[in-house]
Structure 1
Amino acid sequence: MQADVITSNELASVRLSSATKALQNPSVRVLQSAVEVAELQQQWHQLEQASKGNLVFQSYAWIIAMLENPASVQSAKIFAVYDQQSLIAVLPLRIEKQKSLKALTGLGEPFQQYSEMLLDPAYSPADVLDHLKPYLQKAGADVIHLRQIREGGALYEYASTYFTEVGETDGAPWLELNQWNSFEDYLTSISARSRKTIRNQRNRLHKSAGLTHRVVRQEDSELETLLLRTLNGRENWVEAMGYSSRALEGDGLQNFLLSLSKGTAKGCELIAFELKHGDRPISTEWGFLFEGCYSAYMADWNPDYEQSSPGKLHQMDVIEACFALGIDKVDFLKPASRYKMTWTSQVASVFDAVSPLSFKGQLYASLWLKNLRPLAKRIVLAMPKGPRALLMSSVKKIRG
């Protein structure tokens, strides 16, 4: 199916319009391969530009990189919605097997940070999702489980109304850079106390060995080294703290990042930032640059500099670099931690939601996701770091 090409003027008018179009002759395709997705490259990119919200994890480049993994291809359920043969929405999902249960969840899980749908804003999300409902119900899952639905996107209002919220509601801090003329103007919006504390910490480090900052783009040969070092450091920190992270289990995330950075699909760029004290790295951060928005995905810091709050210090350099690169927006992603809130007062609500499709799915949603899992999480997080780390290490060994 071929969609009509949207001109730049038409695209601009769509962006300004509200959802006014009614579905007239809708149809749905369920895609499962990179070849099928590649056929829609032009239309997919048009939807990226027109859709609302942060869609980096549903971008064409991200999805193509995910489909490099044979397991993702086997489980993929990418719902493409057409109206009068024009592509108007894409919802990239997959079937996730959890022992005896199957969940329909985001294609990019466990690596994606938001569940979202690309949508032509001339259409109502509710109309499109109501049309999709029978296709989702017939996908072969026991439950629809959408993690981290962000305020401002196409799924948010619908999931709030028709799905069941599970887990804790959190927030994703974000920063609209183009409301200031320069980085110096932006700094005046930060509290005087925070500016003074950060300035004093930076001055102490400057006087001893000096501070340097650099930006590493996707074409730089050092990017892979920085990514792998950060992943290793993050894994060590998670283990030492007694936390768990599905994204860091195995080498799946590493392989995905290499596929994304070395792939031919354009539009989503890996970018890294490194702060050094003399020759010693203090903090490294990397994320994704997509449609003028930098999504800060992962950071690692040198524990020798913990007293200097390296993450907070580094964030100043990252934001300054974003101004210099002409980036419009920074999305700090979930959670709304204290060091992120030093730099912004803007937070988008983020929540997980489920919709059971079978009796088994109903039990999973109501007993485990809504009640037992949050209780178990609170108990574990309330434990001291040492016993918690020992417990999580033992669980990991049992699971193999």
Structure 2
Amino acid sequence: MFNILGNGMFRSEHYRCGEQGREAVRPEDSIVMRVLGTLDEIEACADAWREIEVSCADPMAYFQSYDWCRNWVRQFGDIGRPYVITLWREETLLALWPRMIVEAAGIRRLETLGVPHSQYCGALVRRGTSPKLGIAQKLEAAALQSGCDVTICRAVPEGTALAGFVADKPEVRGADNVASMLDLSAFASVEHYTNGLGKLQKRNRNRRRNHLARLGALDFAVIWPNDPRFAELARHCTQMKRRWLRETRRYSAGFSIDGYDDFLAGLPGDPVAGEGACLSMLRAGGRVVSLEIGFIRQRHYYAYVGGFDWALRHLSPGKVQMEMTIAWLIENRIKTYDLLINPADYKASWTNTSVVVRTHAQPLTWKGHVYASAWLPTLRPALKSLHGRLPTLIDRITSVLRPAVCLLLYV
């Protein structure tokens, strides 16, 4: 039985009565649940949050980090109300699940904190924490107390703690996805990696570098947020990406939200620890030709946003930058180059492994049942398909409505 305390706190009873009187307290009965619902409460939990990141066993949990979540709430707090579930045993934080409550079209959804910008849904669980069943039950209890119509876990990577916790929850039909990755752990050096490439790959990469170098000497660097150039370069990267989206007639819900550039430019990173946000920059003859914003956590690199000079697209500066970024990662003993979800031909040529990600939706009310059984698996994909096939004329006429339509696809 759960008692609701003040300030969003939930607590299990610490004893139970039997025929012989009070029985011994079970380990899960000493766990206290607290929901963080404001930026102030999140910031007050900073030290414990950062500490559990270090002790968390899941490497694919950057989008559950304090830096990402705190900065997202600070920038986009009007999109959804934070509902960060934390589990404590005395003063020790055992688990943390960043969620948010989003209300649209009369439906309240308990979503991944940071949607549509967060790429993976996960929970931070302290390594060695037991019993796992008790942790899962209390996380679910807090979710049920949210008052939402449906709880959604988008893009849960296989093999993570959260994947185990939600394995019995309904999966959204047709929403399975794959994260494409390059496993770098087997390469002792950049030369070792290069020698393993096929002849055609080597020839193409050499050709691209040589053609790009005709503009001038190639200069590659990784820029961290403590560099005064970082914020400006991060904004330049998003501008390049927007140009690519516009030219290729693609649309992104994340890019349609005002303040996205400032959010990325304001993410922290530590060059000494080799953790957090960083930016790969490639210049040719002193001209910035390609940029990539990425994140590093537990020797796992997320290639988050890449952009290149559209005028030089025939020289493939983005591919040259990717090659140099991989070399830098190997030199700095990073284990994984993660190109994130949504398979693509270019990703297949740069990666050698993948991780299945699944989406779960648990209805809690009749409106949640309609949302989970009709909107997510059927109506939303149909709208998305229609959205991608709009005739050119209609597309131009309705261009002003695109941001709203893109956001609708993430509802």
Asked if TM exceeds 0.5, the reply is yes
Q: Percent identity?
A: 24
User: What is the identity, as a one-letter code, of the residue corresponding to 1:297?
Assistant: Y
Q: Are residues 1:141 and 2:144 paired?
A: no
Aligned to 2:268: 261
Is the 1:24–1:83 Cα contact (8 Å) retained in structure 2? no
Listed one character per residue, the Cα deviations across residues 284-308 of structure 1 (whole Å, up to 9, x for unaligned) are 1111122322211100112222233
Which of residues 85, 93, 97 in structure 1 aligns to 2:99?
93
Unaligned runs of 5+ in 1: 1-20
Q: Residues 238 and 338 (structure 1 numbering): CA distance in 2 closer, same or farther, change over 3 Å?
A: same
Rounded to whole Å, the distance in 2 between the matches of 1:296 and 1:222 is 19
Rounded to whole Å, the distance in 2 between the matches of 1:70 and 1:395 is 21
Which of residues 377, 380, 390 in structure 1 aligns to 2:396?
390
Which of residues 299, 303, 318 in structure 1 aligns to 2:306?
299
Aligned to 1:156: 163
User: What is the identity, as a one-letter code, of the residue corresponding to 1:31?
Assistant: L
Aligned to 1:355: 362
Aligned to 1:30: 35
Task: Name whichever of 63-72 and 286-295 sits farther off.
Answer: 63-72
- TM-score, structure 2 normalization: 0.82
Is the 1:234–1:300 Cα contact (8 Å) retained in structure 2? yes
Rounded to whole Å, the distance in 2 between the matches of 1:106 and 1:77 is 9
Q: Residues 207 and 69 (structure 1 numbering): CA distance in 2 closer, same or farther, change over 3 Å?
A: closer
Q: Residues 25 and 169 (structure 1 numbering): CA distance in 2 closer, same or farther, change over 3 Å?
A: same
Is the 1:242–1:388 Cα contact (8 Å) retained in structure 2? no
User: What is the identity, as a one-letter code, of the residue corresponding to 1:164?
Assistant: E
Q: Residues 398 and 273 (structure 1 numbering): CA distance in 2 closer, same or farther, change over 3 Å?
A: closer
Task: Name whichever of 217-226 and 308-317 sits farther off.
Answer: 308-317
Name the SS of the counterpart of 1:29 in structure 2. Answer: strand
User: What is the identity, as a one-letter code, of the residue corresponding to 1:149?
Assistant: V
- How many residue pairs end up in the alignment? 377
Unaligned runs of 5+ in 2: 1-25
Task: Name whichever of 193-202 and 45-54 sits farther off.
Answer: 45-54
Could you tell me how far 1:336 is from its partner in structure 2? 2.7
Aligned to 1:45: 50
Could you tell me how far 1:318 is from its partner in structure 2? 0.5
Higher relative contact order (CA 8 A, sep 6+): 1
- TM-score, structure 1 normalization: 0.84
Could you tell me how far 1:72 is from its partner in structure 2? 5.6
Rounded to whole Å, the distance in 2 between the matches of 1:69 and 1:198 is 39
Is the 2:183–2:352 Cα contact (8 Å) retained in structure 1? no
Is the 1:175–1:331 Cα contact (8 Å) retained in structure 2? yes
Listed one character per residue, the Cα deviations across residues 73-102 of structure 1 (whole Å, up to 9, x for unaligned) are 971111001246532110010101213111
Rounded to whole Å, the distance in 1 between the matches of 2:390 and 2:123 is 38
Within 5 Å, give how 1:215-254 maps onto structure 2. Answer: 215-254=222-261
Which structure features the higher share of helix residues?
1
Q: Residues 190 and 124 (structure 1 numbering): CA distance in 2 closer, same or farther, change over 3 Å?
A: farther
Rounded to whole Å, the distance in 1 between the matches of 2:131 and 2:60 is 18
Aligned to 1:4: none
Q: Are residues 1:275 and 2:304 paired?
A: no
Name the SS of the counterpart of 1:349 in structure 2. Answer: strand
Is the 2:232–2:265 Cα contact (8 Å) retained in structure 1? no
